């Protein structure tokens, strides 16, 4: 069941990113719904689920929005998914505050790792500025924590309904 909901979340991320690219192409890079999905998978499922969600999210990004070298976003997302999953098994990261911090760090790490990998393969990428990373991290943190709360409230409601029946 976990695989199904992860696939649904990645499909929703693809649809959202595609819509953002069509509506506001210049601002579509600010929000990264794939990163939000893989961070949630890492937080709730550990290293393995975070890595697998990272592989899927990265490959989807590479295929639909990537450049000349496939696999850069995939490798970046695998590393982020593993790091978040490893942290979630060692630290208590279920409240909104720690999740904001995780999303901030994951977004910054994603941008920096991707830039470094692109440099290794001589792939041209957009310039990464500290202000750009902070803006992207803040948007991902706000949207991500709100999405996580919605998902978890809905899950608690469904569980409560099942127990009463």
The position carrying tokens 């470094």 is: 116
pTM higher than 0.75: yes
Residue 110: CB atoms within 10 Å: 26
Q: How far apart are CA 156 and CA 86, in angstroms?
A: 25
pLDDT tens digits, one per residue of 105-157: 999 999 999 999 888 888 877 788 899 999 999 999 999 999 999 998 887 65
Runs of H (alpha helix) within 24-121: 33-65, 72-90, 96-120
In this structure, the number of other CB atoms found within 10 A of the CB of residue 65 comes to 15
Where residue 159 falls among pLDDT bands split at 50, 70, 90?
A: very low
DSSP state of 34: H
Within 10 A of 18 (CB to CB), how many other CB atoms are there?
Answer: 13
H or E element, residue 158: helix 130-164
> What is the mean pLDDT of the segment spanning 17-27?
87
């Amino acid at each position: 069941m976990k695989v199904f909901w992860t696939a649904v979340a990645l499909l929703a991320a693809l649809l959202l990113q595609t819509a953002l690219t069509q509506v506001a192409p210049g601002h579509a890079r600010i929000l990264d719904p794939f990163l939000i999905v893989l961070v949630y998978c890492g937080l709730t499922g550990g290293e393995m689920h975070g890595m697998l969600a990272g592989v899927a999210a990265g490959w989807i990004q590479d295929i639909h929005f990537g450049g000349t070298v496939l696999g850069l976003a995939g490798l970046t997302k695998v590393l982020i998914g593993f790091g978040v999953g490893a942290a979630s098994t060692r630290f208590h990261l279920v409240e909104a505050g720690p999740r904001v911090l995780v999303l901030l760090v994951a977004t910054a790490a994603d941008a920096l790792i991707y830039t470094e990998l692109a440099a290794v393969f001589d792939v041209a990428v957009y310039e990464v500025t500290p202000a750009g990373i902070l803006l992207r991290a803040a948007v991902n943190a706000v949207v991500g924590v709100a999405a996580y709360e919605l998902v978890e409230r809905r899950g608690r409601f469904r569980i409560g309904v099942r127990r009463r029946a």
